[in-house]
Amino acid sequence: MATTPDDDDLDPLPESSLVSRILAVAGTLLRKGAVLVALLVLVVVAVRACQSTQGPSLQPWHTIIPDEPAASEISAGNWQGYLTAEQRMYEQLRRKLDSAMKPGDRTLLNRYYPASLTSPEAFGHDWNRSYVLEPDGAAKGVVVLVHGLTDSPYSMRSVAELYRRHGFIAIAPRMPGHGTVPAGLTKAGRKEWHATLEMTMAEARRRAAGRLPVHLVGYSNGAALAMHYVMARIERGEKRDVDRIVLMSPMIEVNRFARFAGIAGWPALFSRYAKSAWLDVLPEFNAFKYNSFPVRAARESYLVTDELHVVMEEVTAQRRLNQVPPILAFQSVVDDTVGAHAVMTRLFDRLATNGSELVLFDVNRSRVIAPVLRTTATDWVGDVLQDPARRYTLTVVGAASSEDAAVVARTRDVGSDVVKQQPVGVRYPAEVYSLSHIGLPFAQDDALYGNVPSGKAIVQLGALAVRGERNVLVVSQESLSRLSYNPFHAYMLARIAEKIPAK
C-alpha cells in the first residue's frame, strides 16, 4: 500500500537550482527586451531613411565642408595662427561656393549670394568671424566671449561692446564649424570647441599679463563650454584664470532626444539617404546663424553637457566647488532649447556661497495672456523666491501684476528674508508672451534681430511680424514668430556692467 510522505519528508528546492531558474528567467526577459529595442531602432532608422527622400534637396552649403584645423592643431597653435587659418579657410570656401552655386541659388534671400539682402556683407563687416575689440585707452581687463551652437560671434557683439566701453579687451572666437556653412557642423565638434576656448584663454592670459582681471562670457552652448573650461581647471588643480563668469541661456541641460540623435543619422551611411544626416534642411536666410541643423550637432551638444556634468561631479567629490568664480546668469523661465529649471537645480543650487546671482525672465502674466499659457511650463517659477536657504542671489524679472505691465525685478539676497522689488523702467510688451532662448543677447534695435527699423537694405528678421494665409512664405511662420530680441536687454547689460571693475 502506497504511503503519502509527510511534508517534513519533502526535499526543498536546492538554492542553486532556484538561483539558476531566476537567472534563466532574467536572461529570457533581457533577450526579449534587447529584441524589442533592436526592432524599435530599426523602425526609427527605416522612418528616417524614408523621410530623407522627401522635402528639399541638399544644397552646396550642406555638402561643402570647410577645411578647418583639427583640435590637435588648434591646441598647438595660438590666437594669431587661428586667425590666419580662419582667413585662408574663408577664401577657399568662397571659391568652392561660387563654383558650386547654380543661377537659382543667387537670390535676395540666400546669405551665400554676396548681393543678397541676407548676406553678411550687407552689414559692412562679416561678424561671423573671430574678432577683438580694443578699448580706447589703457586696458583695464580682458573678456572672452563664447557664442552658441549654429551661432556666430555676432551674437556677442553687444556684450563685447559693453566691456570695450568699460576698458576691457574683448576677444570673441569663432567656434569651428560655425559662421561658414551648415556642413561645417557635420565635421567640427566639441573637441575643436574645447581646444579653441583653451587657445583663446591662453591669449587672454597673455594680454592680462597676470595683472588684469579676466572675465568669461558664454551664451547657450558657449556657456556650457565656458563652465566646462572653469570646472576642468579646478578638477586638474590648476590655478584659476577667470575672475567672473557671465552666462546667457546656459546649456546646462538639453532635450533628452539629443542623447540618441546619432541614431537618426545612421541611414546617411548610404548615399541615397544622405539627407538623414540632417534634422532640418532649410533656406539659409539668416546672415549670422544657420537655419539647417545636422544630426551630429545635436549629438555633440548633448556630449558637451554630459562632459560638464561629469567634471562637476568630480569637482564636487573633491570639495572644490568653493573655487568656482562668481557667476551672473540670465535665463528665460521658458526655453525650448535648454532646460530652464536645470540652470537653477543642476548648477546654481550646487554652488558655494561666492556672490553668484541667477536672473530669471518671467513670462507675461497679464490677464489676457495668462489663460493661454501652459502652466506646466511656467508655474515652476512661482515660489522660487520663497526659499531662504539659497546660497546665491535670485532675481525674477517680470510684470508688476496681471493688471500692471510695468516690469519690476524681485530679488532675494543670500541670507535675507526680504524680497526687494525694483522697477526696471520698461513695460512688458503686450504682444510678447515670453522671452526666448535665441533672443537674450540681442537688443530691440539690433540691425538683424531687433524690431526697431534699422534703415539698412537687409531683411530684418526681428521686424517680420507677419500675418496671412498658410503655406505661402518661403520661410516658416514659426521661425518668424519666435522672439529674436530681448525687451529687457538694457537691464541685462546694466546688471553685467555692475560687475565690471572700474579700475
Residue 347 lies in a domain: yes
Residue 230 lies in a domain: yes
329: helix, coil or strand? strand
The CATH number linked to 411 is 3.40.50.1820
Residue 493 lies in a domain: yes
Exposed / middle / buried, residue 477 (Cβ in 10 Å: 0-12, 13-18, 19+):
middle
Supply the range of the domain harboring residue 115: 58-441+488-498
Label residue 7 by pLDDT band (50, 70, 90): very low
Residue 447 lies in a domain: no
The mean of the pLDDT values for the chain is 89
Residue 53 lies in a domain: no
Rounded to the nearest 5°, which phi and psi values hold at 187? -125, -55
In tens, the pLDDT along 260-287 reads 666 666 666 666 666 788 888 999 999 9
**85-89, 348-352, 386-390, 437-441: which range is least confident on average?**
386-390
In tens, the pLDDT along 53-96 reads 566 889 999 999 999 999 999 999 999 999 999 999 999 999 99
> Could you give the number of structural domains in the chain?
1
Is residue 443 a contact partner of residue 489, using CB atoms and an 8 Å limit? yes
Residue 471 lies in a domain: no
**8-22, 104-118, 123-137, 259-273: which range is least confident on average?**
8-22
Q: What is the structure's pLDDT at 1?
A: 47
Alpha-carbon gap, residue 22 to 27, rounded angstroms: 8
CA dihedral for 132, 173, 139, 224, sign (positive or negative): positive
User: Residue 476 pLDDT > 70, yes or no?
Assistant: yes
Label residue 2 by pLDDT band (50, 70, 90): very low
Rounded to the nearest 5°, which phi and psi values hold at 447? -60, -30
Q: Are strands 406-412 and 278-280 parallel, antiparallel or unpaired?
A: unpaired
Q: What is the structure's pLDDT at 387?
A: 82
**83-87, 118-122, 230-234: which range is least confident on average?**
118-122
278 torsion bin: left (phi>0), alpha (psi -120 to 50), beta (else): beta
Residue 474 lies in a domain: no
Residue 457 lies in a domain: no
Stronger pLDDT, 123 or 42, i.e. the higher one: 123
Amino acid in position 226: A
Stronger pLDDT, 15 or 171, i.e. the higher one: 171
Please give the angle made by the CA atoms of 421, 333 and 259, to the nearest 5 degrees.
155
Stronger pLDDT, 269 or 232, i.e. the higher one: 232
Label residue 132 by pLDDT band (50, 70, 90): very high
**11-25, 304-318, 359-373, 417-431: which range is least confident on average?**
11-25
Cell of 430: 503686450
254: helix, coil or strand? strand
